[in-house]
Structure formats: structure tokens, C-alpha cells
Structure 1
Amino acid sequence: MIVRAPGKLVLSGAYAVLEGAPALVAAVDRYVLADPARPAPLVTDEVQAAIDAGALDRAVWFDASALRASAPAGAPAAASRKLGLGSSAAILVATLAARAAAAATTRTTAAAAVGQPAPAWDARALFLDALAAHRRAQGGGSGVDVAASVQGGVLCCRLGPGGALDVAPHALPGELAVEVFASDAAARTSDMLERVRALAARDPAAHRALLGAAAEGATAAVAAADARALVAALDRQVDALAELGDRAGAPIVTPALRRLRPAAAAEGASLAPSGAGGGDVSIFVGAAPPSAAFLEAARAAGLERVPMSLGAPGVHVLDAARPPATPHVSQV
């Protein structure tokens, strides 16, 4: 029994979501695979937090290679790196679902005798267990990556009182092109958030003003009815986050993205960091895909296109009659 959970791409609302603004997040068709019948190759901090909380009895085998960039030629597989697609959340969700599905097998066998098949897991309970463990391991966070892995699709998420995360399906504008780029630069989300928190303590007025501007852009992104309006809303956020990063000493918008933004704008598109920024992945969003000239400029700046589709299904058991294909590994 193989379970898989998708990674995620934050489209809008980074940083501002922690202040109550809406965030748009999409599940992508790159998955973590989990097999409850095989021993775990390692135990992540998030999975250990779920075990410590009693939400999980043990870790299981998983393969997260589809959410990592492949290692350079001749280098060991361990030299691969995360792409910033929410692998820690996807590993946790896949593990919780795999153990729940394994436990449900016994219940289903017994229930089938009386015609009452048992579900593999309770989606709401799975989400809450994963959210709590992920936040405990990472010292907080919005949890939008957990929501994407559990529910799938494209979601609008907003933090409510007490840290509750409100999640609802969201329809993106039609005729929208979204392309994902990865770089060899990377930054730990926790480090980026710590620098931004330090700015809030050092200069609360600047922190408040810049996150307020980002929140306005995030709200406009949710309301956007067409690609042009969404592009404008994303650009507002990138402008605010670039200055936020400058003041905090955090490279939220990297030099490569700054150089390429005018080229994207010339094509009626926005080029924005996805999530906390600092490298990893960025998104080109417009009414049409990037031109060959833009792709060449991106390559020259150290960015490579990473193929993926948005709106993938949430965590699920693979069809037992159809064995899983070899995970797709990015060739960036």
C-alpha cells in the first residue's frame, strides 16, 4: 500500500499570511511516496514531533526525491537539495496517511463482513495532527504547506484566532500561465523569518508598513478576476517584500530575481519568490508562458525551469492495480 502526498507552491501571501492576510497556495504534481510496510530511512523532525505527540506510532519509508533537485553529475545522491516545495510537510502528511491506511486495512476487513467499509483516514483529523506536529517542529508557521498536501488543489488560506487555519478552494483566473524556476541559491525559512522578526523588534513602524503593503497585494491577488490583475497584485507584494528583505538583511528577493523582473514585466508577467524567498523556487505568472528570450535570460542568471502542474490532488492511496512510476526527479 503506497500513499503519496503532493508538494506545494505558494503563489501569494508570503510573510503577510502570518499577519492575517490571505495566502494562495497550490498543490503540485510532485509527490512524496510513503510505504508503511518498509522501515524509515530516517525520521524527520516533523515526523518525530507527531510521534512524540502520540499522533503517530512510528515512522515509515518515504521517497521525497521528486521534491528535490538532482545531485550534480558524479556527486552522491545526498548532494541533492530541497526545491522549496514543502517537502517536510509532504513527508509528514504522507507518513501519517500511510500509517492510518495500514491500520484501516484491518478495520476494513472486519467491516466488509457487515457491508460497512471503513475509510482510510479522517481528513480533518489528519490535517490537525499534521499541522500541530509541523508547527511544533518548526517553531510556528502558517501551515499552508500542510493544507496543500492534505487537501490538494488551489487553496486560499487565512490564519484566524488562536492560530486556526481557515482553508477554502480557490479558482485562479483563466488564461493564466505559471512557470516555476529553481536556482542553486537557498535559504532556510526559519532563518529568514528570524531576521524579519528581528526587524519588527528593531523598527516596528517599518515592519508594519511593509507587511501592510504586502497584505494589500495579497488581498488583491485573491480578488483578481484576470491575469493582469493578479500580476499587478503580485508585483505589489514583491516590491514590499524586496524592501522588507533589504531592511531585515534577508535576501527575500534575490539579485537574480531583481535583474529579471523588468524582462518579465515586458512580457506582462510578474516574477516573484515563492514562499519565504532567498532562492529555492520562484514563479513567473502571466497571461502567456515566458518567451524563449526570457528563458535564456533566466538560464544566464542561474535559474532553470522546473516542469510541474498546479492543482494536484491531495494525499491519497495509489491504485493497488497500478504500481507507482519511478518518481520524477528535477534535472535542474
Structure 2
Amino acid sequence: MIVRAPGKLVLSGAYAVLEGAPALVAAVDRYVLADPARPAPLVTDEVQAAIDAGALDRAVWFDASALRAPAPAGAPAAASRKLGLGSSAAILVATLAARAATRATAAAAATRATAAAAAGQPAPAWDARALFLDALAAHRRAQGGGSGVDVAASVHGGVLCCRLGPGGALDVAPHALPGELAVEVFASDAAARTSDMLERVRALAARDPAAHRALLGAAAEGAIAAVAAADARALVAALDRQVDALAELGDRAGAPIVTPALRRLRPAAAAEGASLAPSGAGGGDVSIFVGAAPPSAAFLEAARAAGLDRVPMSLGAPGVHVLDAARPPPAPHVSHV
């Protein structure tokens, strides 16, 4: 029984989501595979946290290579690097789901299958909300906090609007992006550690709370506008507001949230009516080109020259599921070339 969980792409709301602003996150059609019949190659911190909490009995084999950049030619596989697509959350979600599916009795599975077949739907082998809450708690415990939007994307799939509520509860709802929208994803040749970036921003909040508050407030306004955007032009403007605020936030915090490569390429994206923004915490990993049309050949060449490689993927992938029982993925929410 092979289970797969999608990675994620943060479209809007980075950093500001931790202050209560809405974030837009999409599941992508790049997956972690988990096989409970095979021994685990290693136990991630997040999986260990789930074991320690009693939400998981053991780790299982997984393959997260689809969420990593290939190793350079001639280099060992271990030389590959993460892309910033939420691999730690996807590994955790896939592992929890694989063990939940294994523990389901044949009789219970048959009952679910019969009922689901009558409704024309595949039979889930786990309670999605329980899976989400277990994964969210373990992921936050291992990482010392975090919004959990990557966990939400891996569990639920699609495109989601997420907002932190009282007590750290994460409210999650499906979100429809504007039509006629093109999103391209670019990977940097530099990997970033989210925890390091967040720590520098927290340090800024301690030494200059007014600046921290003002800049995150500006980013939050852009995040709210992104949720309300009814067309590509409005979404591009909302993303640009966030990138402007996050660039200054990074400058003041000593954290390269908006990298030099992105800064150089932003005017070229703007000339094509698009926004070029870091995805998530920034500092490298992946960035997104968002506009009404795909980037031109000239922009793609400029991106390559700046060390950014296009990574093909589509948004709106289904959430965690048993691979053999998966229905054909739904049409992507975003036009993507």
C-alpha cells in the first residue's frame, strides 16, 4: 500500500501569516511516497515527534526525491538539495497516513469501500481532520513553531486560504485563484533554512519592535489584498506589496528574504505585468513568477543567467491519498505552461 502526499508552494502571506494574516498555499504535483511495508531509511525530526507523542507507532520507508533538486552530474544522490516545497511536512503526512491505512481492518476497509463506491468516491483510509491535527502538532513540536500551512496543503490538497486563530489553531478553507493566471516556479542554486530566517526576523522584533510591526503590517495588507484579488492584475499588485515589505524586513533583519537575484529580475517581471516573489521564508529555495501570461523567452534566459532554474509543476494537486486508489488528479487551478 503506497501512500503519497504532495508538497506545497506558498503563494502569499509569508511571515505575515504568523501575525494572523491570511496565507495562500497550494499543493503541487510533486509528492513524497511512503511504503509501510519497508523499513525507514531515516527518521526525520517531525516523524520522531509524532512517535514521541504517541500519534505514530513507527517510521516507514519514504522517497522525497521529487521535492529535491537533482544532484549534479557525477555527484552522489545525497548531494541533492531541498527545493523548499515542504518536504518535512509531506514526509510526516505520508508516514502518518501510511500507518493509519495499514492499521485499518479489512472489514472496515470493505465497509468504507462499499459506501464510497455507492457515492462514486474513493474510500479514505483515515480521518483527515485527525491526521491533520496529529501532523500539525508534531511538525510544530519538531520545528519550534510555525504556521502549519505546509501540513494543511499536504493533507487537504488544492489551493487553500489559511489563517492562524486563537491558541494557534489553523483555519483552512479552499480558495479559488483568479482565472487566466500563470504561475511559474524557479529554483535557486542556494538552499535556505527557514528556521534561520525566522530567528533573524524575531531578533529584529526584539530590538526594533516598531519597524518589525510596521513592515509586517504592510505585508499583511498585501496578504489580505491577495485573498480578495479578483483578477491577475490585482493579485500581482498584492504580491508586489508583500515583496516590497519583505525586502525591507530582510534588510533590517539581516536576512536575505528577497535575494539579490530576485531583486535584479523583479523589474523584468514587472515589465511583463507579473510579480516575482519568494515563496515562503525566502532566502533562496524557490520563487514564483505570477502574471496573466507565462514569462517570455527573454525572461527565462535572464532567470537562468541569474542562477534560477525553472521547475515544472502544477498547482491544486490532490491531498494525501493511497496511490493505487487515487483518482485522476483534478484539472489544475492555475494555467501553467
Q: Shorter-chain TM-score: what band?
A: over 0.9
Deviation at 1:114, TM superposition (A): 18
In structure 2, the residue matched to 1:31 is: 31
d(CA) in 1 for partners of 2:287, 2:119:
52
Deviation at 1:329, TM superposition (A): 21
d(CA) in 2 for partners of 1:234, 1:44:
33
Deviation at 1:173, TM superposition (A): 0.2
Deviation at 1:45, TM superposition (A): 0.2
Partner-residue secondary structure (3-state), 1:272: strand
Q: 1:198 to 1:322 in 2, by over 3 A?
A: closer
Please say which of residues 151-160 and 96-105 is displaced more in the overlay. Answer: 96-105
Partner-residue secondary structure (3-state), 1:147: helix
- Answer yes or no: is the 8 Å Cα contact 1:70–1:329 preserved in 2: no
Matched, 1:284 2:289: yes
Matched, 1:313 2:314: no
* Deviation digits for residues 173-231 of structure 1 (CA, Å, limit 9, x no counterpart): 00000000001112100000000000000000000000000000000000000000000
- Answer yes or no: is the 8 Å Cα contact 1:175–1:287 preserved in 2: yes
- Answer yes or no: is the 8 Å Cα contact 1:173–1:226 preserved in 2: yes
d(CA) in 1 for partners of 2:235, 2:332:
32
5+ residue gaps in structure 2?
A: 102-106
- Answer yes or no: is the 8 Å Cα contact 1:149–1:315 preserved in 2: yes
Partner-residue secondary structure (3-state), 2:11: strand
Q: 1:37 to 1:105 in 2, by over 3 A?
A: farther
d(CA) in 2 for partners of 1:296, 1:117:
43
d(CA) in 2 for partners of 1:117, 1:174:
28
Q: 1:288 to 1:109 in 2, by over 3 A?
A: closer
The alignment's C-alpha RMSD in Å is 4.1
In structure 1, the residue matched to 2:92 is: 92
Q: 1:172 to 1:129 in 2, by over 3 A?
A: same
Runs of 4+ residues deviating >2 angstroms? 102-119, 320-332
Q: 1:115 to 1:199 in 2, by over 3 A?
A: closer
Partner-residue secondary structure (3-state), 2:211: helix
Deviation at 1:125, TM superposition (A): 0.1
* Deviation digits for residues 266-286 of structure 1 (CA, Å, limit 9, x no counterpart): 000000000000000000000
Q: 1:118 to 1:224 in 2, by over 3 A?
A: closer
* Deviation digits for residues 73-93 of structure 1 (CA, Å, limit 9, x no counterpart): 000000000000000000000
Deviation at 1:115, TM superposition (A): 16
- Answer yes or no: is the 8 Å Cα contact 2:316–2:332 preserved in 1: no
- Answer yes or no: is the 8 Å Cα contact 2:181–2:335 preserved in 1: no
Q: 1:26 to 1:113 in 2, by over 3 A?
A: closer
Q: 1:54 to 1:207 in 2, by over 3 A?
A: same
TM-score (norm 2): 0.91
Matched, 1:179 2:181: no
Q: 1:321 to 1:312 in 2, by over 3 A?
A: closer
Deviation at 1:322, TM superposition (A): 11
Q: 1:195 to 1:52 in 2, by over 3 A?
A: same
- Answer yes or no: is the 8 Å Cα contact 1:306–1:330 preserved in 2: no
Tell me the matched-pair count: 332
Deviation at 1:319, TM superposition (A): 1.7
